Chains A and B, each alone.
Chain A
Amino acid sequence: MHHSESTAIHPRGTLDFIRRFFANIPLLGWLAGALAAVILEQAVGTSLAHALGLPRIPVLFGFLIFLKQPALIPGALGYVLVSNILPVCIVAKIGAPLFNLLSRSLFRMPIVVTAVVHLAILYAIFHIWTDVSAYRLIMLKLMLISILLTLSLNVINGYMGEFSCSHPGFMALGAYAASLFTVGLFVNDRLFGEALLVSDFAVIFFPLGLIFAGLVSALGALIIAIPSFKTRGDYLAIISLAFTFIVKSFLENLEFLGGPRGLSGQPDWSSLPMVFIIVVLGVWIINNFVTSTMGKALNAVRDDEIAAEAMTVNTRKTKIIAFMFSAFWAGVAGGLFAHVIRFVNPSTFGIQKLAEVLAMVYFGGLNSVYGSIVGAVSISLLGEALRPLEILKWIIIPLLLILVMIFRPRGLISFKEFNIEKLLKPRG
């Protein structure tokens, strides 16, 4: 702040000033701020919206209103400012000393405890935020699932540096396998008949169904991996693209799975806590893998496979395990997805899904957990926010992607190791 004159005019200076102003706030403070904001919204949101001339609470930070009803823009802006931005900033900044104190004492405990506390607050925020509208709930669930899907694809396209197009196929396998498990065993259904198992606690079997979904996908991955990892090059891209189409036509032609009409009647088991826990677990395990020396072998294979072999790395095993691992999580994501939408049909898992998940990976950044989270969240949010533009949406999002590719060819946050201690540490 030693040249205050230039800070006032120069945009970079202003940004710098803002950054320094908020620099002493730990993540815990931001979470507390967000929690305060969502509680405030739950309590007075409706009256606030009415007072600002809005028919109801803007569900997605006013984005849908900006594009649909321009007359309501001032009201929406005011709402976002009063109900979202101000509470977060004020609580975070004023409470900073307190949150740093809490953060410090949390930090003395094992990192697991610290992480769980942060995650619990994050879950509370999600829970209260989605309480306001069913639209928010479904959007948030799909966003969380896309984080898992994006990160699992990043393992192959980023960490391992091969180009795989098979994720919609893996997701489809997972979606159908999990649906088969739940609809076949726990639901009275016209395709599969009476439920075989009836229990009030059936939902606790859902993780088993998801594991089954993941294993089916991993098996699919093995079929691709055996022929395509004998050599390097474009083989994987071509074979995996073919795989996606084969899975799609295969499902379209299986009458007992509903054929092209699809499969419905999935129980409502992808609840927010279920999705949240599975996604957090998935991200944690994937991050564990890519930070271990065994997982870093993927980077060695990508950067120079001959050198990796000469340094005792079993490259073939590394590639096959990584591919099956990635497919496993894509399958789990598919299983969750099927139980959020509660309907699956083959055409969901086509080329458009592929474009979407590839966009998330490359937009967010290769070889990075942060990147996958940022990519999945921003593309999901953009997709929803620009929905009123209808077909124009499919021009704006690719344009943005092209811009990112020009200025940051490897994505927004690439090649950055996820550092949980740095993320959660006290800042003052």
Chain B
Amino acid sequence: MSLLKVTSMTHKFGGLLAVSEYNLTIEPGQIVGLIGPNGAGKTTVFNLITGIYRPTAGRIEFNGQDVIGLAPNRIASLGLARTFQEMRLWRHMTVLEHVKMACYAKISYGLAGAFLQTPKRRRQEQEIEERAFASLKMFGVDQFASQLPVDLPYGAARRVEMARAAVTEPKLLFLDEPTVGMTPEEMMAMIEIIRDMHNKLKTAIFLIEHRLRVVTELCQRVQTLVFGQVIAEGNPEEIQNNPEVIKAYLGEEKVVA
């Protein structure tokens, strides 16, 4: 059984067809990439599958369960975590608090624990703190634990965001342009981090990227999205040599450059 199966997913914003007849299958442990020019609808695909938007039509099955209409936090608790292009760290919370917060679904001390200092609360808070530290350590940012996001270097903030997503123990992790705004060296480091995490956690990854280099390094399979439609799908070499892709995607890159 596939981990994620999206069938003919379509979404309209008013009259605008943002995503049209989109299909996707991800197997456990696979790394799949999604590329495409700006405004192609890549982030919309993420938002549709993670429950932020509800698709106009189509089916989404995660781990054998229909997830359309579920609240984003429910979908996340099922094991589908994500990061954001703009990171969305919480301004007034420390790095450690960020990662502890992502353990929210694992808390079972209830209101009694929230209002009173029950032993169960102390134990669970201790547990998630250890878990959070382990995750920060894995991404090499545990030394920032007591700092606020504004005080972090850019690369570290990206890692904190990944640590926050990874601590939910996802079966599938969505990464939205993890190397955006990075220098080539930082990009190579990020590729290593993702590879390392994939080896350790064995999660499947679905990755939006702008840079072909990242996709060719990491992905087994790549989709190209243009104006809400998948125009090509295959392994990285096939995609790179596909004339449609070169026209739509690389052509645009030339205009930008």
B241 within 8 A of A: no
Which single residue of chain B is at the shortest CB-CB distance from A285?
B115
Number of interface residues of B (CB under 8 A): 38
Q: Are B104 and A311 in contact (CB under 8 A)?
A: yes
Instruction: Give 1 or 0 for each of B104-117: 1 = CB within 8 Å of chain A CB.
Output: 11010101011111
Q: Are B88 and A309 in contact (CB under 8 A)?
A: no
Given contacts A288-B115, A288-B116, A303-B91, contact A296 B81 (CB under 8 A): no
Q: Are A285 and B77 in contact (CB under 8 A)?
A: no
Given contacts A303-B91, A310-B72, A310-B76, contact A296 B117 (CB under 8 A): no
Given contacts A292-B114, A310-B81, contact A297 B73 (CB under 8 A): no
* Complex CA–CA separation, A307 to B91 (angstroms): 12
Given contacts A297-B101, A297-B104, contact A309 B71 (CB under 8 A): yes
Least distance between B54 CB and chain A CB atoms (Å): 14
Q: Are B114 and A288 in contact (CB under 8 A)?
A: yes
Q: Are B125 and A293 in contact (CB under 8 A)?
A: yes
B135 within 8 A of A: no
Instruction: Name B87-101 residues within 8 Å CB distance of A.
Output: 88-93, 97, 100-101
Instruction: Give 1 or 0 for each of A288-304: 1 = CB within 8 Å of chain B CB.
Output: 11001111110110111
Given contacts A289-B115, A292-B121, contact A303 B84 (CB under 8 A): no
A321 within 8 A of B: yes
A312 within 8 A of B: yes
Quick one: which of B76, B117, B128 contacts A293, CB cutoff 8 A?
B128
Q: Are A300 and B101 in contact (CB under 8 A)?
A: yes
* Complex CA–CA separation, A175 to B118 (angstroms): 31
* Complex CA–CA separation, A292 to B114 (angstroms): 6
Report chain A residues within 8 Å CB of B93: 296, 299-300, 303
Quick one: which of A293, A306, A415 contacts B52, CB cutoff 8 A?
A306
Quick one: which of A294, A304, A313, A415 contacts B88, CB cutoff 8 A?
A304
A83 within 8 A of B: no
Q: Are A311 and B117 in contact (CB under 8 A)?
A: no
Least distance between B120 CB and chain A CB atoms (Å): 11
* Complex CA–CA separation, A300 to B105 (angstroms): 14
Given contacts A288-B114, A311-B168, contact A300 B125 (CB under 8 A): no
Report chain B residues within 8 Å CB of A347: none
B229 within 8 A of A: no
A59 within 8 A of B: no
Report chain A residues within 8 Å CB of B102: 311-312
Report chain B residues within 8 Å CB of A295: 114
Q: Are A300 and B88 in contact (CB under 8 A)?
A: no
Q: Are A313 and B104 in contact (CB under 8 A)?
A: yes
Q: Are B50 and A310 in contact (CB under 8 A)?
A: yes
Least distance between B67 CB and chain A CB atoms (Å): 14
Least distance between A162 CB and chain B CB atoms (Å): 15
B159 within 8 A of A: no
A308 within 8 A of B: yes
Interface size class of A (residues with CB under 8 A): 20 to 34
Given contacts A292-B125, A293-B125, A314-B104, contact A307 B90 (CB under 8 A): yes
Given contacts A293-B100, A293-B101, A297-B104, contact A315 B89 (CB under 8 A): no
Q: Are B113 and A292 in contact (CB under 8 A)?
A: yes
* Complex CA–CA separation, A367 to B77 (angstroms): 28
Given contacts A293-B125, A321-B111, contact A311 B116 (CB under 8 A): no
* Complex CA–CA separation, A350 to B64 (angstroms): 55
B11 within 8 A of A: no
Q: Are A307 and B104 in contact (CB under 8 A)?
A: no
Which single residue of chain A is at the shortest CB-CB distance from B76?
A312
Which single residue of chain B is at the shortest CB-CB distance from A286?
B115
* Complex CA–CA separation, A315 to B51 (angstroms): 14
Report chain B residues within 8 Å CB of A300: 90, 93, 101
Q: Are A311 and B111 in contact (CB under 8 A)?
A: no
Instruction: Give 1 or 0 for each of B36-59: 1 = CB within 8 Å of chain A CB.
Output: 000000000000001110000000
Quick one: which of A299, A312, A315 contacts B168, CB cutoff 8 A?
A312
* Complex CA–CA separation, A298 to B114 (angstroms): 12
* Complex CA–CA separation, A263 to B72 (angstroms): 48
Least distance between A308 CB and chain B CB atoms (Å): 7
B171 within 8 A of A: no
Which single residue of chain B is at the shortest CB-CB distance from A313?
B104
Report chain A residues within 8 Å CB of B165: 310-311
Report chain B residues within 8 Å CB of A288: 114-117
Given contacts A292-B121, A297-B101, A415-B92, contact A312 B114 (CB under 8 A): no
Q: Are B88 and A296 in contact (CB under 8 A)?
A: no
6 contacts between A and B (CB under 8 A): A288-B116, A296-B100, A306-B72, A311-B164, A312-B77, A321-B111
Please give me the 7 A-B residue pairs with the lowest Cβ-Cβ distance, nearest first: A303-B90, A307-B88, A312-B105, A309-B72, A311-B102, A294-B114, A312-B76
- Known contacts A297-B101, A307-B89, A310-B50; 11 additional CB pairs below 8 A are A293-B100, A294-B109, A300-B93, A303-B92, A306-B72, A309-B71, A310-B81, A311-B76, A312-B103, A312-B168, A314-B71
A interface with B by C-beta (< 8 Å) = 285, 288-289, 292-297, 299-300, 302-304, 306-316, 321, 325, 367, 415
